[in-house]
Structure 1
Amino acid sequence: MRKRHTFSKRLARTALNLEDFETLVRRRLPRSVFGYVEGGADDGDAVTHNRNALRAIRMIPNVLGDVSQRTQQTTLFGQTFSAPFIVAPMGASSIVGYDADNAMAHAARRANIPFTLSANSITPIEEMAKTYPGAWFAAYQSPDHQNIQDMCLRVADAGLSLYMLTVDVPVASNRENNVRTGYTMPFQLSQRLCLDVLRHPRWALGTMLRTMRHRGIPRISNVDPNSRPSIFSKEIGAVTGHAAFSWRHAEHIRKHWKGPFVLKGILSPRDARLAREIGADGIVVSNHGGRQLDSAVSPVEVLEAIRDESGFMTVLADSGFRRGTDILKGMALGADGILIGRPFLYAATFGGQNAVAYAISRLKRELDIDMALLGVNTPQEANISHLLRYLTA
């Protein structure tokens, strides 16, 4: 109990917001591993632009509106959650922080917010279903029809509730940052990587060796219905979607998946319309956190137009959201909920489930304050009249 109390006090002093967790783990992680999480494609312009686009939106508060009955309760796909934000899918999380997927999922379940498991994960779908029954799943799907049917069956049999198809990765992006820092997939034990690991004994012992004791050689568990290639296997290469995947294949998933079906990686109103026409239940307006097309627009620049084309679909958004004000901006532009990734992974890496729970609580507290100051009692009350936009570079 004393140790947990000391840990909580340390967090309260050093992690005042989500961004602080990046600072806390930067020196703990090998340069290659941290670079994999933090980096984007090409020059990293899209990563920076995501934050700048959000900062360029200013807020116009309303006063004297009685904000004493504030609630963050949000309904998504027929289920009520305690806040409008979601733990986003992040590949290789448990290589970054020990058992990070389960740590984030446990904290999300306790806080009653959604958690999304990435296909590019070493935590199997079946294990996640025990940690968080009804968790969401984000797929990198083969266009093979039998593979689609088998994958839908596997996810359904495990008990995950939502199938999120990643649509913005037909090929691997140009990750020059990974080359510079020495990160490769499959893992290659080069002299450079070994020296990097040796300089970070806490990660080497607390994450790498501990994971291997617990799981053996880590395996990418969820990209395929049957295959589980190890992280050292040449089979995996860079985990991506498939260049041949088309709207026809997405329709095939819709046919075989009976639960909520969501397309993640939409940035154009045209694609939102097509998603609606094939019967998708929702979309995620996303540029993959700046990790795919480096000159892609930020979601907040296109959310309003996409909302107009979305019809009955649930509209979610991600990429660069960090603050309570960011969440309100996204929802004012038409989002029903916001996915947040890197900060929760950094929290899991720093202190496991307890640190993630703390990060969730800090963001909920921040959002509650921002709602009051904006003059709304629910995040859903935020609307375009609360915003003023400036041009961003």
Structure 2
Amino acid sequence: MKRRLYRGKDFKRAQNIADLREIARKRLPNFCFEYVDGGAEDEITLRRNRSVFEDMAFRPRTLVDVARRDQTVELFGRAMAAPFMIGPTGFSGLLARDGDLALARAAAAAGVPYVLSNASTMRLEEVVERAGGRVWMQLYLYRTREYAARLVERAEKTGVEALVVTTDSAIFGNREWDRRNYAKPLRLDVRNSLDVLRHPRWMADVLLPRGMPRFANLGDLLPPGQDSVRGAALAIAKELDPSLSWADIRWLRSLWPRRLIVKGVLSVQDAVLAADHGVDGIVLTNHGGRQLDGAISAMEILPEVAATVGHRLTVLVDGGFRRGADIVKAIALGAHAVLLGRATNYGLAAGGYPGVVHAIDILKTEIDRVLGLLGCPSVTQIDSHCIDWSRTNAAVMPAAAEALLRPNAA
């Protein structure tokens, strides 16, 4: 009998994130799944984000007591129940009703932070009030800086723990596969319009009774009545600011009194600049392969960045994480934690809030198993000696591990 992934619709039967992806693909209209799953141009970066993990091999130890295993880590002085969090993904309400809230609630239940997207379909204040847990807020610095200032003020009043400013989208990536679904900008072609009708369960959940979700945190930026997908897209295209620079980070630092994280770093030089500008952390990322096609994976630069600035600021990483083993490899190379994007979105699309919980449980279970098989009872004991990777400079990896273990690093 030929091997194949689970092909049913019951997300509870998903054995891994790949199963959840397949369930999500069937439940969502094609244009929605393409929005979540696709990347820029030839999707070289998208594939690289996954293939990089195949080049890394574990070096397990044996005859180690692993009867008790602990994946708790500390981030910004507070414990996290696992070495990952849910990162910002825009327009989550397109995947399931109140998608942002479902993601936030699942993160809170799992004991990990949640980063609400700037392009969310629920207001920041509502998510914080109804979800509980540790909520962070993503911010794009548009041309209208007054919008950023107002959002910072809202985040502070709401009790948001950290602000995550995304810096790698001052120019939109070329997402050709996504655009092919439309006859005109954000107007579905006939084929995709008919495909929507083939997904009544999605229509009942997402479109009824309120219609297409709207952007709830962009109100101060958009013209009146333009918070629809089409209206917001046209307005945001004019608001992108290619002149964005480190001076803007300095300005934002002057406004925001809590943890400030720069998301969009993919070089050692920029990591050093981030530390010099007083931020508290960085996210190494290529934007999930959705911006510059042909860029390196964040994992490839992680060891050198961790060795250089890991003692000065918190180093986070995202891009291509589908297995608990992937997360353990990132910790081994010097990351303090991992941000999840598509992995939890697949769970959301497959089963709403319970689907996200299932995705998180899958990853936690995998991490627990990897720790036991590695002969490492605690994730805090994971270091570069657990990994064999020919692409990484042998002199850099021990330095990355040492940076990770310094108590003031996180």
Answer yes or no: same fold by TM over 0.5.
yes
> After superposition, where does 1:170-185 map in structure 2 within 5 Å?
170-182=170-182
Q: Which residue of 2 aligns with 1:72?
A: 71
CA distance in 2, matches of 1:349, 1:11: 10
> After superposition, where does 1:99-114 map in structure 2 within 5 Å?
99-114=98-113
SS in 2 for 1:376: coil
Q: Which residue of 2 aligns with 1:3?
A: none
- Whether 1:218 aligns to 2:217 is no
Q: Retained in 2: the 8 A contact 1:73–1:80?
A: yes
> After superposition, where does 1:271-290 map in structure 2 within 5 Å?
271-290=270-289
Q: Which residue of 1 aligns with 2:257?
A: 258
Q: Which residue of 2 aligns with 1:378?
A: 378
- Whether 1:331 aligns to 2:331 is yes
Q: Retained in 1: the 8 A contact 2:85–2:337?
A: yes
**What letter is aligned with 2:39?**
G
SS in 1 for 2:187: coil
After alignment, is 38-47 or 239-248 more displaced? Answer: 239-248
Compared CA separation, residues 165 and 17, structure 1 to 2 (3 A): same
CA distance in 2, matches of 1:24, 1:99: 19
- Whether 1:120 aligns to 2:119 is yes
**What letter is aligned with 1:330?**
A
Compared CA separation, residues 307 and 239, structure 1 to 2 (3 A): farther
Q: Retained in 2: the 8 A contact 1:73–1:82?
A: yes
Could you tell me how far 1:342 is from its partner in structure 2? 1.0
- Whether 1:83 aligns to 2:78 is no
Percent identity over the alignment is 35
CA distance in 1, matches of 2:33, 2:234: 24
Compared CA separation, residues 148 and 92, structure 1 to 2 (3 A): closer
SS in 1 for 2:57: strand
Compared CA separation, residues 195 and 10, structure 1 to 2 (3 A): closer
Could you tell me how far 1:144 is from its partner in structure 2? 4.6
> After superposition, where does 1:231-310 map in structure 2 within 5 Å?
231-233=229-231, 235-237=234-236, 241-310=240-309
Could you tell me how far 1:192 is from its partner in structure 2? 4.0
After alignment, is 253-262 or 60-69 more displaced? Answer: 60-69
Q: Name the count of aligned residue pairs.
A: 378
Compared CA separation, residues 203 and 238, structure 1 to 2 (3 A): farther
Q: Which residue of 1 aligns with 2:395?
A: none
Could you tell me how far 1:224 is from its partner in structure 2? 6.0
CA distance in 1, matches of 2:318, 2:379: 16
Q: Which residue of 2 aligns with 1:50?
A: 49
Could you tell me how far 1:223 is from its partner in structure 2? 4.0
Q: Which residue of 2 aligns with 1:5?
A: none
SS in 2 for 1:163: strand
Could you tell me how far 1:207 is from its partner in structure 2? 1.4
Could you tell me how far 1:261 is from its partner in structure 2? 0.4
After alignment, is 365-374 or 382-391 more displaced? Answer: 382-391
Gaps of at least 5 residues in structure 1 are 1-8
> After superposition, where does 1:198-217 map in structure 2 within 5 Å?
198-212=197-211
Could you tell me how far 1:343 is from its partner in structure 2? 2.0
Compared CA separation, residues 349 and 179, structure 1 to 2 (3 A): same
Q: Retained in 2: the 8 A contact 1:25–1:346?
A: yes
Compared CA separation, residues 11 and 142, structure 1 to 2 (3 A): closer
SS in 2 for 1:80: strand
SS in 1 for 2:51: helix
CA distance in 1, matches of 2:153, 2:103: 25
**What letter is aligned with 2:64?**
G
Q: CA RMSD in A?
A: 2.2
Q: Retained in 2: the 8 A contact 1:166–1:241?
A: no
2:228 maps to which of 215, 227, 230: 230
SS in 1 for 2:207: helix
- Whether 1:153 aligns to 2:153 is yes
CA distance in 1, matches of 2:363, 2:82: 10
Q: Retained in 2: the 8 A contact 1:147–1:224?
A: no
1:129-156 CA distances to partner (integer Å, 9 max, x unpaired)? Answer: 1133440111112255433322210111
CA distance in 1, matches of 2:129, 2:92: 18
SS in 2 for 1:27: helix
Scaled by the length of structure 1, the TM-score of the pair is 0.90
Q: Which residue of 1 aligns with 2:162?
A: 162
Scaled by the length of structure 2, the TM-score of the pair is 0.87
Could you tell me how far 1:55 is from its partner in structure 2? 1.2
CA distance in 1, matches of 2:254, 2:207: 40
Q: Retained in 1: the 8 A contact 2:344–2:356?
A: yes
Could you tell me how far 1:167 is from its partner in structure 2? 1.0
Could you tell me how far 1:379 is from its partner in structure 2? 1.6
SS in 2 for 1:61: coil
SS in 1 for 2:180: helix
